[in-house]
């Protein structure tokens, strides 16, 4: 049966017809002006608006127009393939700003958007996350019961932060394990010293660890070095391992301590105005002639990589350890209508020789073996350097580009044997109980040994006590598994005892005999008297050679 068209239907047909006619006229005018739709952003935005309006009004099921735009924005950002670019809604940004500018409780983890899951870049030394056993490379599977497989970094951070003293329960995916590990972390106020301690490793070699690059980093580094020089330091181990980076200005200022005026530190390259530039040293080398070995690993990122790359490019230091993380990009915040914020990668960092620090990855880095030291460095063998861009420093030394800072000398951390890994994996599955047992065991040990001295060793009987403590926490770990992981267990219990007894410096001194990278650095500095001596030793060993 034919329906008669009334006035309302006539108008409903006429309106779209008028839109089509106007669109055709506008389109013809644009084409006459030599502008097609692909080159005209206004037309594209208008088409997007029309699609959303039509779907919202006419789709067979009810649709939320706002969610359609959110999906479109997510798709645009996802198309960039950049884990550091994100859209931050106004409510999230305001909460983040309040937490960032005020005192807040956190878990002490540096995280980034990884392949499928938000990934830990590094755990702040002594922070709540490190104390329970979380390490670089771990990926968030669940946070307080919320699945994390679709989370971006800002969303994960918002859940991890909270009032100091409160707990957050998380499940982590760890390379090599099939099921997630559960942790309970008590939030704490995160206040960091950039240089937690400094000391002399022997009569002539000083040691300065830089744990983060913050507002006071350059002042703390220079104060530590001045103090060590007063103690007779003639060689330096500068430790940037597990340093997640931080402020660009302070990374430049730290590097400036060791270079001469006019020497380039880092270059930024981007498309937008103001994103291209080179930052140079402005003051004379404060420690001329001091041979320096810089320690790096897969947790060294961002501003820490700027420091290592510049000192390597200028032949000012030898870089030793593992290839750094490869976080070589600059993010800018752009306020949007309604209070939303776009965090957009606007430039990339390059070393003085032009090496890109940025490393594209399609999946989370896998560690080479199970490190005893609970560090998850990206082990880079010499074979992996094949095909990377090659550069020559002023001395003619060969260095490599392609992302991250490959070391001059690759030295792997001390790792567990396959048999030890099998035992340790069972302990990993009860990581929360293990951490609690380690803490309680260290307290009991110190009470029983009030006159304990640095350099102590635990007996088998001491580990028996710990196993009993471990079992009380209902951890499903057999004695066989515990014995297989004896070396791993002993290492972590000794570290916790030393930390509680003597602080960060004492913990470092107690565990340094396990540190293969530190020992190799000491071997070099025992021979080298000048920076040129170090370069010659590297030339003999061969750059990048394990």
User: Is residue 327 annotated as part of the catalytic site, yes or no?
Assistant: yes
Task: Give just the sign of the alpha carbon dihedral 95, 99, 105, 110.
Answer: positive
Q: Which of 211, 217, 327, 515 is catalytic?
A: 327
User: Is residue 171 annotated as part of the catalytic site, yes or no?
Assistant: no
Q: Which of 113, 154, 239, 313 is catalytic?
A: 313
- C-alpha 129/C-alpha 170 separation (Å) is 11
Percentages helix, strand, coil for the chain (3-state, rounded to 5) are 40, 20, 40
Q: Which of 86, 302, 430, 442 is catalytic?
A: 302
Q: How far is CA 406 from the centre of its chain?
A: 16
| Integer angstrom CA distances of residue 366 from 300, 345, 382 | 15, 25, 17
Q: How far is CA 257 from the centre of its chain?
A: 24
DSSP codes of every residue in 68-110: HHHHHHHHHHHHHT-TT-EEE-HHHHHHHHHHHHS--EE--EE
Question: Measuring CA to CA, which residue among 296, 251, 301, 373 is closest to residue 120?
Answer: 301
Contact predicate 135/374, CB 8 Å = yes
Contact predicate 352/314, CB 8 Å = yes
Q: Token match 């990374």: residue?
A: 251
Q: Token match 């670019």: residue?
A: 85
Four-point Cα dihedral 207, 212, 215, 218, nearest 10: 20
Instruction: Give catalytic residue positions.
Output: 302, 313, 327
């Amino acid at each position: 049966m034919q329906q008669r068209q009334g006035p309302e239907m006539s108008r409903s047909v006429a309106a779209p017809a008028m839109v089509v006619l106007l669109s055709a006229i506008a389109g013809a005018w644009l084409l006459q002006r030599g502008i097609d739709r692909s080159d005209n952003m206004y037309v594209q935005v208008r088409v997007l608006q029309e699609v959303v309006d039509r779907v919202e009004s006419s789709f067979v099921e009810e649709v939320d127009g706002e969610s359609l735009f959110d999906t479109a924005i997510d798709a645009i950002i996802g198309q960039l393939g950049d884990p550091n670019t994100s859209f931050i809604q106004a409510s999230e940004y305001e909460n983040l700003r309040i937490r960032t500018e005020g005192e807040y409780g956190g878990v002490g983890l540096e995280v980034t958007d990884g392949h499928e899951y938000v990934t830990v870049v590094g755990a702040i030394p002594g922070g709540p996350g490190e104390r329970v056993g979380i390490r670089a490379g771990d990926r968030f599977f669940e946070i307080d019961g919320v699945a994390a497989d679709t989370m971006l970094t800002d969303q994960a951070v918002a859940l991890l932060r909270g009032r100091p003293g409160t707990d957050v329960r998380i499940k982590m995916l760890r390379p090599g394990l099939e099921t997630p590990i559960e942790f309970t972390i008590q939030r704490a106020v995160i206040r960091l010293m950039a240089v937690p301690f400094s000391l002399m490793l022997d009569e002539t070699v000083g040691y300065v660890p830089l744990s983060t690059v913050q507002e006071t980093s350059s002042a703390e580094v220079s104060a530590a070095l001045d103090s060590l020089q007063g103690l007779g330091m003639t060689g330096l181990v500068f430790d940037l391992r597990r340093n997640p980076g931080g402020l660009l200005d302070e990374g430049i200022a730290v590097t400036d301590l060791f270079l001469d005026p006019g020497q380039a530190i880092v270059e930024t390259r981007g498309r937008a105005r103001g994103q291209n530039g080179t930052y140079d040293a402005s003051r004379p080398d404060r420690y001329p002639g001091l041979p320096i070995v810089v320690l790096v690993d897969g947790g060294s990122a961002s501003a820490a990589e700027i420091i290592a790359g510049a000192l390597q490019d200028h032949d000012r230091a030898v870089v030793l350890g593992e290839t750094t993380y490869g976080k070589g990009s600059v993010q800018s915040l752009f306020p949007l209508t309604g209070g939303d914020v776009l965090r957009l990668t606007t430039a990339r960092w390059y070393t003085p020789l032009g090496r890109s620090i940025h490393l594209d990855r399609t999946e989370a880095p896998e560690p080479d073996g199970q490190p005893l030291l609970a560090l998850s460095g990206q082990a880079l063998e010499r074979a992996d350097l094949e095909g990377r861009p090659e550069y020559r420093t002023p001395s003619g030394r060969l260095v490599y580009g392609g992302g991250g800072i490959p070391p001059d000398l690759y030295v792997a951390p001390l790792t567990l044997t396959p048999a030890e890994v099998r035992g340790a994996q069972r302990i990993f599955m009860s990581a929360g109980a293990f951490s609690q047992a380690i803490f309680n065991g260290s307290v009991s040990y110190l009470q029983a040994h009030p006159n304990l001295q640095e350099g102590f060793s635990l007996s088998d009987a001491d580990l028996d006590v710990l196993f009993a403590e471990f079992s009380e926490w209902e951890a499903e770990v057999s004695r066989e598994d515990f014995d297989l992981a004896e070396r791993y267990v002993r290492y972590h219990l000794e570290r916790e005892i030393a930390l509680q007894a003597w602080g960060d410096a004492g913990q470092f001194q107690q565990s340094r005999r396990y540190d293969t990278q530190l020992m190799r650095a000491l071997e070099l500095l025992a021979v080298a008297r000048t920076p040129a001596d170090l370069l010659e030793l590297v030339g003999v060993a061969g750059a990048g050679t394990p």
